[in-house]
Structure 1
C-alpha cells in the first residue's frame, strides 16, 4: 500500500501573546516569553495528530527540523522525513514560506500548518493556487477561513482524507489585522488572499464577520439588568469585544476593548490582565465570567481571549459563565452552535450542551454549544 504524504508546519511562536494579553504574537514573542508565556502551538498540534493514530501505518509526514514539526512527530512515533531546517536561531515568517515551498515540491497531498492569521498569510504567500492546506488553530487571533474550528477537528478532517472519504475543496479567505493598531484598541482587518482548503461544514471555521447592527439600545438594557443584579464581593470578569466593552461603558466603567478586565463592587479592579494575573484574581474567589460570541463564527472561548485559560475556567466554574450576545449576532451563525476551543479537550467536553445567553433586559436564551471534537 502506498503511503499518504502529509506536510506539517508548526509556527512555534504562535499564540504566545494571548496569555500575556499582548493581543497577538507578531513581533512580541520575546516579550511574551519574558512575561511567562509558554509555547502552545506544539500542544495544539499534538491534539490534531492524535486523531491520526488509526491511520498511522498509511502515513508519512514531510516537515521541517526541530520545533517546526520533526520534534513532535518523533515524540509521537510518526514516520516522517525532514525536508529543511530553520537553523539554530528563532523561527520566522521566511522559514514558514520556505517550508511551504519545499513541501509542495515534494508532492504533499495536504499541508497541515499550526498558527494564527499571521502564519496563514505566510502560507498564502508561498502556496500554489491548487495546493490543499489546512490550518490547526494555535494563534491568538484567527479571522481567516482556512482553519478548522479546533485542533481535533483538523485531525478528524485529515483522517477522513487519508481514509478515502469524500472531502470537498474550496477557497478559504486569509485575513489578518494590524496587531500594532490592535494593541491601541483599533481593529483594522485586511484580505490577503485565498488558499485551497478542504471544506466540511462541521469542521471548518467561518470568516469572522463584523456586527450588522448598532447594539446601543440592547446594551443599555443589558447594563440596567446587570446593575440591578450586581452581587457584593463577587468579581466579574469581562472578556474582550465590542459587546462587553459597550456594556461596561453603559455602566460607567472604563474597560479595554480587546483585553480582559475584572470588576468588583462596581469598580474596575484590574484592566487588561494576563492569564497569570487573572488566575490570581479568580482563584478561590466568587467570580462570574461574561464572554461574547464572535459574529459569524460562534467561538466564545479560544479566539482572542486566551487569558481565559483552562485553569481560569476551572477556578471560576463553568456554571458561572454567561454569554452576552444580541439576537442579531446569534442570527449570523445561521443555526450553527456556539463553539469552545480552550486547548483542553477534556474541559471542552465537560461544557453543557447548551448555554444561557443574555440577549436583552431580563431576556435569556438557551443556545446550543459545540466543541471541536463533535460533529456540530
Structure 2
C-alpha cells in the first residue's frame, strides 16, 4: 500500500477574491465561516479534484492525516481508506499544519501531499525539513515556492506515476514566501526559507550520453560524484557489495572488495570484507553518523538479503532504514519492468517495516522514488 500523507489548509486562497495578498492576514470571521461549514473552501475543492482522479487507485493507497476538513473529509469522499493522526483546532492554524506534518512523518508516510500556498509550504518545511518527499497542490494566493504541481490534475499525474511504479525523480526545491504587509504596500520582499524534497516527472535520462543510452561506468562515476558532494569525514560509511558502490571507493582512492562489505571513515579503510561481528565492533566504537550504501541486484531487484547478509537483521534495525542509501542506474531500475525492489533479511517483521517508497540515487543530483516490497508483487 502507498501511504499518502495529506494536509489541507482550508483557508488557503480565500484572500484572493477579497484583494488580499495572502491568507496570513485573513479576517477571523472568514476563517470561522469555513470552519463552521457556512463558506466554501477553495483548498478543499482543489484537493477533491486531485483525489477524485486518484479514485481508481484507492485499493492501493491509504491516506493519513487529521480528522475533519484538514484531510479526512476529502479522503473519505474520494473513497480512500483513512488513518486519523490527530485533530486540529477550529479554526485551524499554522501550528496545526506543523503538527499534522510531524505526525505524518512519524507515521512513515511515503509522500506528504499538502494543499495550500507559500505560508503552508513554510509550515511543512519547519516541521519536516528534507526528511521525506513532499508535493504541494497549489491553492493559495502566493505561489513563489518551487514545490507545487502546476494544478490539481498535475499533482494527480505525479502521484499516479509514483504509485504505478514509474521512475519519478525527486530533488530539492525552494520554499519562498513574501512579506504580506509589505506586499499590500506595493513592496515585494521575498525570502528563502529552505528546501523540500519534491517529486517531479521528467525525461527518462537526465544526462544523455552516447545516443541517449546510459553508460554504466559513467553512471557509477556520477553516483560517486553525488555521494562525494555530501561526504562527511566524521561519518562511518558501510559500503555494500556490487559494482555500483565501487565508484565511491574509487573516488576515495581506497581498495575495496567487490563482493564484500567495506567500512570507511575519514578517508581511511577501517575494514575490508567485513563480517557482521566486525561491523558491530566498529559501530560500538563509533559515536558519529552512519550511512550504509547498498545497490540492487540487476534483474532481481534485491537490496537486502542477497550478497550482503553481513548486514544482519540486528544490524539493520540498529542502523535504521533512514541511514541506508540505495544506489542504482535508471537502466537497472527499468530492467525490473515495474517490479519492486526487494528485501529478504530473514526477519519477516523487519521486511514489512521496509516496505514503501525509498529514494534511489541514479546519478549526480539525480534521484527517483522507487517501491520496496517484501513480497515481490
TM-score, normalization by structure 1: 0.51
Question: Which residue pairs with 2:42 in the alignment?
Answer: 40
1:213-238 per-residue CA deviation (whole Å, 9 max, x = no partner) reads xxxxxxxxxxxxxxxxxxxxxxxxxx
1:288-299 aligned at under 5 Å gives the runs none
**Counterparts of 1:107-146 in structure 2 under 5 Å?**
107-146=108-147
CA contact (8 A) 1:96 1:119 kept: yes
SS of 1:168's partner is strand
Distance 1:81 1:31 in 2: 30
Match of 2:88 among 86, 109, 123: 86
Q: Distance in 2 between matches of 1:200 and 1:26?
A: 31
The answer as to 2:165 corresponding to 1:167 is: no
**Superposition deviation, residue 31 in structure 1:** 5.6
For residue 152 of structure 2, what is the aligned residue in structure 1? 151
Q: Which runs of 5+ in 2 are unaligned?
A: 204-377
Report matched runs for 1:1-376 at 5 Å. 3-30=1-28, 32=30, 38-87=40-89, 89-201=90-202
* CA–CA separation in structure 1 for the residues paired with 2:178 and 2:117: 11
Task: Judge conservation of contact 2:62–2:80 (CA < 8 Å) in 1.
Answer: yes
Give the number of the structure whose alpha-carbon radius of gyration is greater: 2
SS at match of 1:60: strand
Deviation at 1:40, TM superposition (A): 0.5
Q: Is residue 19–residue 37 contact of structure 1 (8 Å, CA) maintained in 2? A: no
Following superposition, the deviation at residue 30 of structure 1 comes to 2.7
Assess if the C-alpha contact under 8 Å between 2:129 and 2:195 holds in 1: no
Contact 1:4/1:58 (<8 A) preserved: yes
In 1, distance between residues paired with 2:43 and 2:121?
14
Shift of 1:74: 1.7
State the 1:55 CA deviation.
Answer: 1.1
CA separation in 1, counterparts of 2:175 and 2:29?
A: 26
1 CA distance for matches of 2:74 and 2:180? Answer: 29
Shift of 1:39: 1.9
Query: 8 Å contact 1:113–1:135 — kept in the other structure?
Result: yes
Query: What is the alpha-carbon distance in structure 2 between the residues aligned to residue 23 and residue 37 of structure 1?
Result: 20
2:8–2:115 CA contact under 8 A, matched in 1? yes
Other-structure match for 1:340: none
The structural deviation recorded for 1:130 is 2.9
C-alpha RMSD over aligned residues: 1.9
Once residues 137 and 161 of structure 1 are traced to their aligned partners in structure 2, the CA distance between those partners, rounded to angstroms, is: 19
Aligned length: 199
Q: d(CA) in 2 for partners of 1:29 and 1:83? A: 28
Any conservation in 1 of the 2:53–2:153 contact (CA below 8 Å)?
A: yes
Aligned to 1:90, what secondary structure does the other structure show? coil
State the partner residue of 1:329. Answer: none
* Shift of residue 37, structure 1, vs aligned partner: 7.2
Paired residue for 1:219? none
Q: Residues 46, 29 of structure 1: CA spacing in aligned structure 2 closer, same or farther, 3 A cutoff?
A: farther
TM-score of the superposition, structure 2-length normalised? 0.51
Q: Shift of the alpha carbon at 1:38?
A: 3.9
- What displacement does 1:159 show? 1.1
Can you give the 5+ residue segments of structure 1 that lack an aligned partner in the other structure? Answer: 203-376
CA distance in 1, matches of 2:25, 2:39: 14
